[in-house]
Amino acid sequence: EAQVTQNPRYLITVTGKKLTVTCSQNMNHEYMSWYRQDPGLGLRQIYYSMNVEVTDKGDVPEGYKVSRKEKRNFPLILESPSPNQTSLYFCASSPRSRLAGYEQYFGPGTRLTVT
Amino acid sequence: RKEVEQDPGPFNVPEGATVAFNCTYSNSASQSFFWYRQDCRKEPKLLMSVYSSGNEDGRFTAQLNRASQYISLLIRDSKLSDSATYLCVVNILTGGGNKLTFGTGTQLKVEL
């Protein structure tokens, strides 16, 4: 089944404790992206990757890191989480195809709470 | 001004009603447009792409007006299962590749 998976789905952590949220897709998509969703603010892009070893900042990259060592995986790293990073996080992937209209396929989301 | 603006709602409508959502975008370089559906606490899923000529998929019709920079979604004969948040999404081709910008969503509640 074609899908984007994220782990963990739920995480409660404390300020300053490094964490990684994994994202994996099995559709051979080149493009992957991380978003956070907050009430009243909608989905905001954190980082994106056009291909292996190619990453770039989105609209809200502060406090986050990413890596793209393999095509299928795009982990999101919070080196020192803070309470303002409490949010719902989505990973997404997309074929780089104009014909496909750049449709993005989303993972199920990770609900992170930082206390 | 937000890049993509939507009325947050909620729109409470009776089953069988026709409901329309509008969305405006600010960047005239926007190239492609979509409506996504998001159920509560779930991931967004593509509902339909929006083309200049307008397109229809069953009870759903999407329209694009480039001159006025707005997109619309019409739902006819609404069902209880249509209750969700509808996200307007605009794709802009930048030097770094394509960038999707999401509206904050319009919440629809279909009631008996």
**All residues at 6 or more sequence positions from A110 whose CB lies less than 8 Å from its CB, including other chains:** A6, A7, A8, A9, A10, A11, A21, A88, A89, A90
Give CA separation, B41 vs A54, A88, A90, B88, in Å.
30, 9, 11, 17
pLDDT computed for residue A100 by the predictor: 47
Averaged pLDDT for residues A75-89: 97
Confidence of residue A95 (pLDDT cuts 50, 70, 90): confident
Give CA separation, A85 vs A82, A91, A112, B41, in Å.
6, 15, 8, 17
Is residue A40's pLDDT more than 90?
A: no
According to DSSP, residue B86 is labeled E
Tell me whether A54 touches chain B (CB under 8 Å).
Answer: no
Write down the mean pLDDT value for chain A: 92
**Chain segment B49-74, per-residue pLDDT in tens:** 898 888 999 999 999 999 999 999 99
**Chain segment A50-60, per-residue pLDDT in tens:** 889 989 999 99
Averaged pLDDT for residues A13-29: 96
Q: How far A87 CA lies from chain B's nearest CA (Å)?
A: 12
Nearest to B96 among A56, A101, A104 (CB): A56
Q: How far apart are CA B10 and CA B84, in angstroms?
A: 10
Tell me whether B66 touches chain A (CB under 8 Å).
Answer: no
CB pairs under 8 A between A and B: 52
